[in-house]
Amino acid sequence: MRTLAQSAGDLAAGTTSRSLVEDCLARILDAAGEGRRVFLKVHADQARAAADYVDALRRHGAAPSRFAGIPVSVKDLFDMAGDVTTAGSVALRDTPAAECDAAAVGRVRAAGFITIGRTNMTEFAYSGVGLNPHYDTPRNPYDRATGRIPGGSSSGAAVSVTDGMAVAALGTDTGGSCRIPAALCGIVGYKPTARRIPTGGALPLSFTLDSVGPLAPTVACCAALDAVMAGEEPNDLAHYRIDGLRLAAPQTMVLDSLEPAVARAYAQALTRLTKAGVRIADLPFVELNDAATLNRQGGFAASEAYAWHRRLIETKGALYDPRVLSRIMRGKDQDATHYIELMRARADLIRRVAAVSGQYDALIMPTAPIVAPPLAALAADEQFHAINLLVLRNTVIANVLDRCAISMPCHRRGDAPVGLMLVGEHGADRRLLAIAAAVEQIVSPGRDES
């Protein structure tokens, strides 16, 4: 995988955007059929034309940013002018094409990034495993022969990056949909504070919990795309001293049912950080258990998804993935009293957690408690629901608390990918990204593994 910085350096040195685009298009076509699972639509002609235009601008010193000409993929949840936004579903195939870009897509294009295509996803973004029965499921690049889940809901986004079909990807995160596929595929996924990046033009799952975020090879890549989508200058991250960094490691349900590979990678990451001078405090943090309680009846996602989908379900419900439909329908039984109580309980939980976490720089925990299981393990509905709840368990905490969070790989090179998650304070996005960049230097695969 090439980083945004490497690609920008190549462009500054004379490499053309057209060559970067052609390389990505070739990977989409040459991936032994994987490209058709990863992309629901490839904008080949538009991408070539945009690349040629950026190359002309660069020759005249008029490129809109140093990242202009770099190919990125876009999750099928976002509106793109002239495209039908299907959100990984067949129920929306006959809806009108979007008249304009989603806000995040428009900002990325304004910076000169080339949108190479629309990536596959869990239908309507409603699961953390990444399965899609309508368009097939992208296979996890770690073990494609076995056929493992990619994680979701931004499944195609993650695989497009790991396979070099795009340099970075635009995704969304309502309960972990950027971080879970990043963790299971071995890249970085970032979930910003919910309102940092506008969600306008992205089909909603939960108006309360939805956030727009990037998936990319490194923390610095995610930081650059995050800044662009937030309407900020993509400046380099401030240096953050690792020595003396204070991290809180919850000793609660986030450590339950860890697979041996995850437990081993997590323990090794903590050991390396401690040796580097990080102060890690093991805390009971029982307050985090209440995040699961808030979602017991489906939480905000079910109630708000049902509010959006109910009319479509009346006419197109038979076209939905039954597993997705059943989760949406949980919202039908929630009334206004339940919703108001849910909002109050969330506000109380945010207050109680802040009282504990305020003296630390970030929380640290495994992103997902398991490595990517084989697709066959999810064939039965009971197993599907159990695994889906398991992979969402840790990541949804940041969404419920309305905080920023990031997942980065921490496994040994050659092992199944494992993600390490840092959770920052509400609105402290650039600070968390700077901390994550420092942590990444210690824990990323290929670093000190002795």
Q: Average pLDDT for residues 360-372, to the nearest whole number?
A: 98
Q: Is 176 left (phi over 0), alpha (psi -120 to 50) or beta?
A: left
Judge whether 176 and 44 are in contact, CB under 8 Å.
no
pLDDT(220) > 70? yes
Q: What is the pLDDT of residues 92-126, one digit of tens each?
A: 999 999 999 999 999 999 999 999 999 999 999 99
- Token pair 């309305």 is at which residue? 402
How far, in Å, CA of 57 to CA of 79, rounded? Answer: 26
Q: Beta strands of 166-323 (E only): which ranges?
A: 168-172, 188-191, 212-216, 246-250, 279-283
Write out pLDDT tens, residues 35-47.
999 999 999 999 9
pTM of the model: 0.97
Catalytic annotation present for 89: no
How many whole angstroms separate alpha carbon 363 and alpha carbon 281? Answer: 10
Whether the CB-CB separation of 214 and 401 falls below 8 Å is answered with no
The model's pLDDT over 258-268, given as tens digits with 9 standing for 90+, comes to 999 999 999 99
Residue 191 annotated to the active site: no
Q: Which residues make beta-bridge pairs with 118?
A: 41, 74
DSSP state letters, 84-105: ---TT-STTTTSPPPSS--HHH
Residue 90's identity, in one-letter code, is V
Residues 291 and 396 sit within 8 Å (Cβ to Cβ):
yes
- Residue 322: pLDDT above 60? yes
User: Residues 44, 25: contact at Cβ < 8 Å?
Assistant: yes
Q: How far apart are CA 162 and CA 142, in angstroms?
A: 9
Q: Active site residue: 73, 127, 177, 206, which one? A: 177
Q: For residues 271 and 281, what is the distance between their CA atoms, to the nearest angstrom?
A: 13
Helix (H, G, I), strand (E, B) or coil at 191: strand
Dist. CA 327–CA 321, nearest whole Å: 10
Going along the chain from its start, the domains and CATH numbers come out as: 4-229 (3.90.1300.10), 246-443 (3.90.1300.10)
Given a cut of 50, whether residue 450 has pLDDT beyond it is no
Question: Amino acid letter at 76?
Answer: D
Position 80 confidence tier, pLDDT thresholds 50, 70, 90: very high
Q: Residue 293 has which token pair?
A: 């309680």
Three-state DSSP state, 403: coil
Distance CA 45, CA 111 (A): 20
Helix (H) or strand (E) holding 277: none
Q: Residue 115 pairs with which residues in a beta bridge?
A: 72
Could you give the percent of the chain with pLDDT greater than 70? 99
Average pLDDT, the chain: 96
User: What span, in angstroms and rounded, lies between the C-alpha atoms of 377 and 388?
Assistant: 11
Tokens of 365: 């925990």
Crossing angle of the two packed helices 4-12 and 219-229, in degrees rounded to 10: 80
Predicted local confidence at residue 91, as pLDDT: 98
Tens of pLDDT, residues 54-68:
999 999 999 999 999
Task: Examine the residue annotation and report whether 316 is marked as an active-site residue of this protein.
Answer: no
CA distances to 170, 284, 345, 358, 401 from 287, rounded to whole Å, are 32, 9, 12, 14, 11
285, pLDDT greater than 60 = yes
Does residue 368 surpass a pLDDT of 70? yes
- The model's pLDDT over 161-178, given as tens digits with 9 standing for 90+, comes to 999 999 999 999 999 999
Would you say 172 and 154 are in contact if contact means Cβ atoms under 8 Å apart? yes
List 75, 155, 211, 357, catalytic entry:
75
Per-residue pLDDT band for 30 (boundaries 50, 70, 90) equals confident
Which residue is catalytic, options 153, 211, 357, 407? Answer: 153
